[in-house]
Amino acid sequence: MGSMPITRAQATSASRGTIEPMEDELVAWLRQHLPAHRDQSVPIGDDAAVLHWGTGPGCVVMVDVVMDGVDFELAEVAASRVGHKALAVNLSDLAAMAARPRAAVVALVLPRHGGAELARELYAGMIPLAERYDVALAGGDINSWDGRLVVSVTAIGQETARGPLRRSGARPGDWIVVTGSLGGSRLAKHLDFEPRVNEALLLHERYALHAGIDISDGLTLDLARLCEASGCGSVIDLASVPIDPAAGQWARQLADGSTALDHALSDGEDFELVLTLPADEAARLVADQPLEIPVTRIGEIVAERGLWQRDATGIVTPLVPRGFQHELDKP
Pairing of strands 40-42, 273-277: unpaired
Question: Is there binding between residue 271 and its own copies (CB under 8 A)?
Answer: no
Residue type, 24: D
State which of positions 118-137 bind its own copies (CB under 8 A).
Answer: 119-120, 123, 127, 130-131, 134-137
Binding mask 43-72 for its own copies (x = CB under 8 A): xxxx-xx-x-xxxxx-x-xxxxx-x-xx--
Q: Rounded CA gap, 220 and 183, in Å?
A: 12
Question: Is there binding between residue 102 and its own copies (CB under 8 A)?
Answer: yes
Q: Contacting its own copies (CB under 8 A), which of 17, 140, 278, 318?
A: 140
Question: Is there binding between residue 78 and its own copies (CB under 8 A)?
Answer: no
- The minimum distance between CB 284 and its own copies, in angstroms, equals 33
Number of Cβ within a 10 Å radius of residue 55: 5
Q: Contacting its own copies (CB under 8 A), which of 11, 82, 110, 197?
A: 110
Strand 273-277: give its sheet, edge to edge: 211-214, 273-277, 175-179, 295-302, 233-237, 306-310, 316-318
Beta strand spans in the chain (E)? 40-42, 49-51, 59-67, 100-111, 136-145, 150-158, 175-179, 211-214, 233-237, 273-277, 295-302, 306-310, 316-318
Task: Specify the residue, 61 or 219, whose C-beta has the smaller distance to its own copies.
Answer: 61
Question: In residues, how long is the chain?
Answer: 331
Q: Contact region for its own copies (CB under 8 A) — 36-44, 176-184, 240-248, 262-270?
A: 36-44
State which of positions 148-187 bind its own copies (CB under 8 A).
Answer: 148, 150, 152, 154, 156, 158
Q: Contacting its own copies (CB under 8 A), which of 113, 256, 257, 315?
A: 113
- The minimum distance between CB 150 and its own copies, in angstroms, equals 5
Asked if 308 and 190 touch (Cβ cutoff 8 Å), the reply is no
Question: Is there binding between residue 14 and its own copies (CB under 8 A)?
Answer: no
Task: Specify the residue, 108 or 285, whose C-beta has the smaller distance to its own copies.
Answer: 108
Q: Contacting its own copies (CB under 8 A), which of 12, 13, 30, 192?
A: 30
Number of Cβ within a 10 Å radius of residue 243: 19
Largest pairwise CA distance in the chain: 61
Task: Specify the residue, 121 or 237, whose C-beta has the smaller distance to its own copies.
Answer: 121
